[in-house]
Amino acid sequence: MGLIKIPSKAQAFFDTEYKKIFNSGMLAEADWNIKLADKISMITKSNGCVPVASNGAGLMCLLQLFGSIHNRKKIMLQSNTMYGMFTMSNSSGYEVLDYIPCNIETLMPSLSQVEEALASSKFEENELVIMLSHMGGIINPDIEEIAKLCKSKNIILLEDCAHSFGSTYNNKHSGLFGDAGVYSFYSTKAIPAGEGGAIVSNNTDILRYAERYTKYDRFERSMSIGNNIRLSELQALFIYSVVSEHNNIIKNKAQIAEKYIEVCANLGINYIKQETNGQQGNYYKFVIYHPDIEISDYLPKLETKTSGIYDYSLCGSDFIPKHHVCLPIWYDQDQDLMNNAIKELNDCFEEKNK
């Protein structure tokens, strides 16, 4: 994590405000949690936001709420996602019914793949949740049609938005296509603030239940589930400081991506586009792939890279892990890192052309 940098304006803002928290004596459940919720609601144009301790905490909160309030018992996950989606589902009392395959072109499931998975699975009406993850900084390009399908079948659609804060599809932010979504501000994410997450939704009932859950429902005392997954005021302030600079962070990373796009175009390398067909990505990752050749064979001299999305599959297939690679694209990263990656890509093709 030594490559992670925070914008100087975010640091300066935090420096001017954090002592006020100490002087106020309000270290939790105070103004900065409210301000952060309002800020994220404004950015995403959502009906509301509930700050939480992490993306995982927010997803488990929603899964438990859907189980308790809507009696949901079974869940389907996409095959290419973090292992934590599986563990959180089990920890929330769900039966993992099936894994939906993903495409190498997006690293996510298509509408037809969701339809096929549903057709081959057994579940009762009103008992299923589908949890889909937006990968690499863009939103699933079939999310609108998938959301319509889920609504028609009374399936709850939960969006894992850990990679996609600031990303839009047809001018709509991630997390607002299904029933709810959860962002991540973990240290390695597109908008990094160490830890923390945020639940967003346009369903005010979900938001109200989620807010009560994060405080054990200790004030109304009518829910049977709840936990302490709140943010401290200091962490809320820090996330607010970084989120306020999200456009500058994304712009900086987009400038790095322009250099990669140029070399990919020159060499005929496939990459996942983040600004096409209604997408406006946040450049969390810059993904190169080949649909037919394993990436280690296709680009044998590429050593300057970062972690893939992912290097395993929940359904056991190693196709996506072996057929893609991610180039380094951190905020304000050293130019040498980008130049090394570009040189190595060129070297791969010079070797082939000999």
pLDDT in tens, 218-267: 999 999 999 999 999 999 999 999 999 999 999 999 999 999 999 999 99
* Averaged pLDDT of the chain: 96
Q: Which amino acid is at 271?
A: Y
**Does the pLDDT value for residue 279 go beyond 80?**
yes
Contact 190, 138 (CB under 8 A): no
Q: pLDDT band for position 354 (50/70/90)? A: low
- The answer to whether residue 306 scores a pLDDT higher than 70 is yes
In angstroms, how far is CA 253 from the centroid of its own chain? Answer: 16
Residue 320 has pLDDT above 80, yes or no: yes
- State pLDDT tens for residues 42-91: 999 999 999 999 999 999 999 999 999 999 999 999 999 999 999 999 99
Provide the phi-psi class of 214: left if phi over 0, else alpha when psi is between -120 and 50, else beta: alpha
Q: Over 50: is that where the pLDDT of 101 sits?
A: yes
Secondary structure E strands in the chain:
48-52, 74-78, 95-100, 128-133, 156-161, 168-169, 172-173, 180-184, 197-201, 270-271, 279-280, 286-289, 324-327
Share of the chain above pLDDT 90, in %: 97
Residues in Cβ contact with 242 at an 8 Å cutoff, skipping those fewer than 6 apart: 6, 7, 10, 185, 191, 192, 193, 249
Query: CA-CA distances (angstroms) from residue 146 to 132, 169, 332?
Result: 10, 14, 36
Tell me: the pLDDT tens digits for 162-199? 999 999 999 999 999 999 999 999 999 999 999 999 99
The neighbour count for residue 10, using CB atoms within 10 Å, is: 22
CA atoms within 13 A on the CB side of 112: 1
Query: What would the 3-class secondary structure string for 271-305 be?
Result: ECCCCCCCEECCCCCEEEECCCCCHHHHCCCCCCC
% of the chain exceeding 70 in pLDDT: 98
What does pTM read for this prediction?
0.96
Strands 156-161 and 180-184: parallel
Give the residue-averaged pLDDT of 303-324: 96
Contact predicate 117/130, CB 8 Å:
no
DSSP state letters, 151-183: HHTT-EEEEEETT-TT-EETTEETTSSSSEEEE
* CA angle, 333 then 160 then 138, to 5°: 50
- How does pLDDT run across 120-154, given as a tens digit for each residue? 999 998 999 999 999 999 999 999 999 999 999 99
| Distance in angstroms (rounded) separating the CA atoms of residues 141 and 73 | 27
pLDDT of residue 1 exceeding 50, the answer is: no
CA distance linking residue 192 with residue 211, whole number of Å: 23
Task: Quote the distance between the C-alpha of residue 57 and its chain's center.
Answer: 14
The pair of structure tokens assigned to 296 is 């280690």
Give me the pLDDT at residue 196, please.
98
Confidence of residue 312 (pLDDT cuts 50, 70, 90): very high
Q: How far apart are CA 83 and CA 191, in angstroms?
A: 21
